[in-house]
Amino acid sequence: MIAENPTKDYLHAGHSVSSWLGTTDHKRIALLYLFSITGFFFLAAAAALAIRIELLTPEGDFVSAETYNRLFTIHGVIMIWFFLIPSIPTVLGNFLLPLMLGAKDLAFPRLNLASWYIFLIGGLFTLAALIAGGVDTGWTFYPPYSTHFAESAVVLTATGIFIAGFSSIITGLNFIVTIHTLRAPGLTWFRLPLFVWTLYATSLILALATPVLAILLLLVAVERIGGMGIFNPLQGGDPLLFQHLFWFYSHPAVYIMILPSMGVVSETITCFARKRLFGYKSTAFASLAIAGYGFLVWGHHMFTAGQSAYSSLIFSALSFLVAIPSAIKVFNWTATLYKGSISLDTPMLYALGFIGLFTIGGLTGLFLAALGLDVHIHDTYFVVAHFHYIMVGGAVMGYMGGIHFWWPKISGRRYNESMGRFTAIITFVGFNLTFFPQFLAGYLGMPRRYWQYDPSFQAYQFMSTLGATVLGLGYLFPLVYLGWSFFRGPRAGANPWEAAGLEWQTPSPPPKHNFSGTPVVNEEAYAYPEYPG
């Protein structure tokens, strides 16, 4: 029996500021993160808006070149490190992991709170950098430009990212230990929801890849301040060493951004098709494979950088291999729909949108992994379109789908379903309008990071900006209707979607200690009743 006791749910157990800012409750920490990353998202989106306005015309007539370079840099830095990488793990992961495992909290709750504060401090440094004029190196910080030529707040920004990196590492460690040690009795590995599998794989990358970035940022700062010359060719250093170390982190980082979304899709497809996932084991192993393989392909960012042909051949071959686990997942999701009982609620629409956009993004990744083709499209808008298809069309749609799916559990309220569906659709449409023309501009030869451009590219850039206005609405609307529903929406029951999973076996919103006893699990994941013939 699930007792409804609104005065004891986590949202209302304590109203003071200190009960929020000093909380060790994973659910409250998740909300603290939600608030922070949403702020960062809209800051970076504002930069994107400015970029798109500038790109309406070939001439640089909206902002100066200096400003433009700072805009795209801050857009990348904030979106990647202060929105995408934290997004699902720190909001949905923090909130749901203990619930999905039947636990009372994560393994290290105080470390969890510490990681939020560390994240904030990192964010403050980055904001300080913004106020100090911003940074203009691109989020990739290539030396010698970033170490010896850029006259902008490189060290401040690097410090902010360095600090935020520790937040990532701590979250990763916390999740790994939690998943190993706090599963409820009967919850074996192969009964875990796939969202947990993807969180686990993501955490491996968070913990193991981020330290390399941290060291690299340290070296850049030291070189910039002390003129030490590790990457400066004039002092015997090697600028390509930076690129190798940078991409050794940054390629796995993109899997940090996509894996959790894939987990969300597995949860929502099964719920709204009322069917167990097709190929559970292969999907679970595919998540681990993506995490592991992701560490082996970094050189595909450097095919034209001056590395040897042999390196390029090896990295290209490995990059094709890493596409296979992703393909397995897409096929498994599709097969799950077969003989299901499908309803197109908002989270399902987001999941379907994810599959479509991620597939296109992933396929264009194959274009880029192919050596002869990459030589032409590398560093052009083709790449920009590719990664936005994965990051925005994939990761962000997965995030939005997850927010909508678990919104009743988190807030105890329901949002307006028609608004939800409408928003999902315009997001999908707006996204394609924004980014598909960029593939074409890229193949035609328009390089990246161009403040002014040859008029032959204008048609595509113009289309892209128009699409961006529609896409923007897709993010503004949820801010309004989700925010409104938090305070005034109709109350949700414990399991409004009739979904499987331990998180739905407790009231919405959950009580502070999650469960009123220790749950015992004795069935497979996604135990939806099968429909008889």
Partner 1 sequence: MTEGMGKIMDFVATPLGAILPPVISRHAASVDLFFGFMVALSAVLVLGIAGCILYFLIKFRRGSDADRSRPKHSSVVLEAAWILIPLLIMTVIFLWGARLYLGMFGKPAGVETIYVTGKQWMWKIRHTQGAGEINALHVPLGKPVRLVLSSDDVIHSFFLPALRLKRDAVPGRFTSFWFKADREGEFPFFCAQFCGVDHSGMTGKLTVMLPEDYAAWLRGENPGGSLAQAGEKAFGKYGCGACHGNPEAVRAPPLEGLFGSQVPLQDGGSVLADESYLRESIYFPAKKIVAGYAPVMPTFAGVISEEEAMSLIAYIRSMGGPSPSPSENAAPGESP
Partner 2 sequence: MPILNTLDDQVAASGAVGQFPDRMEERHASFMGMWAFLATEMLFFGALFTAYAVYRIHYGEAFTQTSKVLSVFWGAANTAILLVSSLTVAHAVRASRLKRKAECGLWLGTSALLGLLFLGIKIMEWATDAREGHLPWGSLGFNPPGLHPEAERIFLNLYFIMTGIHGLHLFIGIGLLVSLAVRMRRNRLSDAPELPVEIAGLYWHFVDIVWIFLYPLFYLAGR
- Binding to partner 1 (CB under 8 A) within 104-123 occurs at none
C-alpha–C-alpha distance, residues 75 and 48, integer Å: 6
Measured CA to CA in angstroms, residue 40 lies from 67, 244, 419, 479, 515 at distances of: 19, 28, 24, 13, 33
| Between 181 and 418, CB nearer to partner 2 | 181
Applying the rule CB under 8 A, the residues between 336 and 365 that interact with partner 1 are: 337-344, 352, 355-356, 359-360, 363-364
On whether the CB atoms of residues 350 and 401 are closer than 8 A, the answer is yes
C-alpha–C-alpha distance, residues 258 and 17, integer Å: 34
SS3 annotation, 233-292: HHHCCCHHHHHHHHHHHHHHHHHHHHHHHHHHHHHHHHHHHCCCCCCHHHHHHHHHHHHH
Applying the rule CB under 8 A, the residues between 287 and 316 that interact with partner 2 are: none
4 binds, among partner 2, partner 1, none (CB under 5 to 8 A by kind): none
Applying the rule CB under 8 A, the residues between 214 and 253 that interact with partner 2 are: 214-216, 218-219, 222, 226-230, 235-238, 241, 245, 248
Q: Please tell me whether residue 468 binds partner 2 under the rule CB under 8 A.
A: no
Q: Please tell me whether residue 523 binds partner 1 under the rule CB under 8 A.
A: no
C-alpha–C-alpha distance, residues 147 and 145, integer Å: 6
Helical H runs in 370-457?
A: 371-377, 381-388, 397-411, 417-444
Return the C-alpha torsion angle 155, 159, 293, 101, nearest 10: -160
Q: At 63, list the tokens.
A: 């902002």
C-alpha–C-alpha distance, residues 290 and 208, integer Å: 14
Distance between first and last Cα of the chain: 32
Q: Which of 92, 106, 116 is nearest to 36 (CA)?
A: 116
| Between 185 and 529, CB nearer to partner 2 | 185
Applying the rule CB under 8 A, the residues between 74 and 133 that interact with partner 2 are: 98, 103-109
C-alpha–C-alpha distance, residues 501 and 114, integer Å: 29
267 binds, among partner 1, partner 2, none (CB under 5 to 8 A by kind): none
> Locate tokens 């956009």: which residue?
357
C-alpha–C-alpha distance, residues 13 and 285, integer Å: 39
Q: Please tell me whether residue 312 binds partner 1 under the rule CB under 8 A.
A: yes
Q: CB of 315: closest distance to partner 1 in angstroms?
A: 11
Stretch that binds partner 1, among 7-15, 162-170, 214-222, 326-334 (CB under 8 A): 326-334
| Between 211 and 483, CB nearer to partner 2 | 211
Applying the rule CB under 8 A, the residues between 44 and 73 that interact with partner 1 are: 60, 65-66, 69
Applying CB under 8 A, which of residues 125, 175, 435, 450 lies at the interface with partner 1?
A: 450
Q: CB of 39: closest distance to partner 1 in angstroms?
A: 27
Q: CB of 380: closest distance to partner 1 in angstroms?
A: 7
| Between 176 and 351, CB nearer to partner 1 | 351
Q: Please tell me whether residue 234 binds partner 1 under the rule CB under 8 A.
A: yes
60 binds, among partner 1, partner 2, none (CB under 5 to 8 A by kind): partner 1
Q: CB of 50: closest distance to partner 1 in angstroms?
A: 16
Q: At 387, list the tokens.
A: 């990664």
Which residues are bridge partners to 413 per DSSP?
A: 491
Which residues are bridge partners to 511 per DSSP?
A: 9
| Between 306 and 533, CB nearer to partner 2 | 306
169 binds, among partner 1, partner 2, none (CB under 5 to 8 A by kind): partner 2
The count of chain residues that interact with partner 1, using the rule CB under 8 A, is 95
Applying CB under 8 A, which of residues 208, 330, 342, 370 lies at the interface with partner 2?
A: 208
Applying CB under 8 A, which of residues 204, 374, 388, 405 lies at the interface with partner 1?
A: 374
On whether the CB atoms of residues 275 and 339 are closer than 8 A, the answer is yes
Q: Please tell me whether residue 155 binds partner 2 under the rule CB under 8 A.
A: no
User: Interface residues with partner 2 (CB under 8 A)?
Assistant: 98, 103-109, 169, 173-174, 176-178, 180-182, 207-212, 214-216, 218-219, 222, 226-230, 235-238, 241, 245, 248, 511-513, 515-518
